[in-house]
Structure 1
Amino acid sequence: MNTKIEIIKTTSENADLGSLITALDASLWTRYPELKTNYWRNNIIEFNPNVIIVYLDDKAVACGCFKKYDKNTIELKRMFVSPEARGLGLAKKIILELELWAHKLGFSCSVLETLCKQNEAIGLYQKMGYTIIDNYEPYIGLKNSICMQKQI
């Protein structure tokens, strides 16, 4: 079976991103119902010009983006792969594309936040060279947050 994979650069105005973020939020709130009130304030969708969406046979199945954290650092955001597309290496492809994109824009460091039960994500980030760091704003004091960093 040949599967067509297409990776596109887009913005947060892409309607497919909205659908993927809705699925991401639903999966997080199912896994972490107790955290919804603590984390909802950090779940703001603002315009972002640095978005990647992956299409599998013309269906949007995965996404990720980055935003500027400081003059040298980006923060990876909205990493998600639909359940039916997991195991195909799409998250790794997204991370590599985002890091390359950010590096071309002059950034040298990447940070991210994930939640403590996201064992698959934590393992992937570590395989890709990310190390756990002290929580950064706005995650300071949130014990369920795991923050990570990598030089790109």
Structure 2
Amino acid sequence: MAYIGLFMSAFVSSTVAPGGSEAVLAYMAIQDYSAPWLIVVATLGNTLGAVSTWYLGLWVARKYPADRVMNDRQRQGIAWVRRWGAPVLLLSWLPVAGDAFCFAAGWLRLPLLLSALLILAGKAARYAVVVQLAGMVGA
């Protein structure tokens, strides 16, 4: 049941809704849950949440003109993705900016599989660091 809670926390944290899955993950790591499973579950939840934001960007691009819907953060995310391309999605774990990058990738119709793989790689690395640090603190 705890892993389901971690998955949900990670999913919500990676959408446009606020959340902090790192705290849940760190707490579970200190409680001696399996580190590899923690990383896998959190990464999958967070990646799926980011992919939903990618789809939101795609949907908005199809339905509404950019100047009517996008906020400044989304416009800035599109500018970054246009400048740096898909590799910027490795930074999708960043607070605030990461959601904008995922939205922008959908808006710009970057390939979904490439986007998802880059998002997954960045988020897995971040969660591995969180688990490692929590393990050092909990020891």
Give TM-score scaled by structure 2 length.
Answer: 0.28
Whose helix proportion is higher, 1 or 2? 2
Whose strand proportion is higher, 1 or 2? 1
Q: Which has the higher contact order (CA 8 A, sep 6+)?
A: 2
